[in-house]
Amino acid sequence: MKKNKLVYSGLPCRLDVFLVETGENFSRSFARKLAEQGLATVNGEQKRPSFLLGDGDVVEVAGLNAGKAQGAGFESLVIFEDKHFLAVEKPAGVAVHPNSPGWETNPSATLIGEPTLVSMIFSARPAMAKPGIERLGLVHRLDRDTSGLMLLAKTEEAQQTLKEGFRERLMEKTYIGAVGGIPAKKHGLIDAPIGRASGYKKIKVWEYGREAVTEYTVKEKGKNCALLHIHPMTGRTNQIRIHLAHIGHPIMGDKLYGGPDAQRMLLHSFSLVFSHPVTGKETRLESPLPEDFKAAWKAVKKL
């Protein structure tokens, strides 16, 4: 692993503070992680982030190489790509991005810790970290345990157009989800505001929340569960999960909102219909149900 060598001079200074001030655009939390994981050493030894540097101390910072392990397997996730954007199938259990916001200004931060979708993007498509493209091309997101279709912009123009499409509800979104119990009606519309009420840690249906509307259709029935096609008309955080739990039919495997047990959370982003961000041509993309979803549904629908 290539290392960058820096020689410190001046009054005593904390290691993490020095790393932030090196001009590499490191956030304080990212600098701490570099020290804690031995990726930034002092005179060849691992030191705490609070270690005080003195004149002549040699700080070596590991070069975080994109294009290696973190990018492995990314190409198999790509289902569409042109000069303007790409579409990928996010696996269930993979977070879209790290919790710490430092990666937004220093994409190398994505390479520390568990692999995420953006760390894979940074490794496999480093050009998407160029100036003008924000957040490595993200225009929307999926929950960690939701699988399926996601769009990522490759140009500034495409990113702004796609973000506007989601914001202005110009995207026709379809999810497939398995829920506990069987809804009384084949078609349903849930119109209930969502927000985070004072004193509550999780988002829920709340009278003072933001407008949220979800439409669903029952496509298959199990013994005590159902498979739905779900169309979120708005794009609130956890909207589908919250709305279906609100009507007494939580997503199976959704531990946060009380869903029945399943091998994984049974929610999948299936399709998007939208105008191409540059040509304006109607574009339809689909992400077929992954094998782990099919296996989990087969197991629970008989219970």
The C-alpha atoms of residue 277 and residue 1 are separated, in whole angstroms, by 39
Partner residues linked to 155 by β-bridges: none
Q: Which residues contact 212 (CB under 8 A, 6 or more apart)?
A: 191, 192, 193, 194, 234, 236, 239, 242, 243
Number of H helices, E strands in the chain: 6, 17
145 given a catalytic annotation: no
What angle is formed at CA 171 by the lines to CA 167 and CA 176, rounded to 5 degrees?
115
The C-alpha atoms of residue 153 and residue 16 are separated, in whole angstroms, by 33
The C-alpha atoms of residue 193 and residue 110 are separated, in whole angstroms, by 34
- Determine which one of 16, 57, 82, 143 is catalytic: 143
Q: What are phi and psi of 172, to 5 degrees?
A: -90, 105
The C-alpha atoms of residue 144 and residue 129 are separated, in whole angstroms, by 22
Contact 251, 267 (CB under 8 A): yes
Q: Which residues contact 147 (CB under 8 A, 6 or more apart)?
A: 89, 90, 91, 92, 267, 268, 269, 287, 290, 292, 293
Contact 155, 136 (CB under 8 A): no
- Looking at the annotation, which residues are catalytic? 143
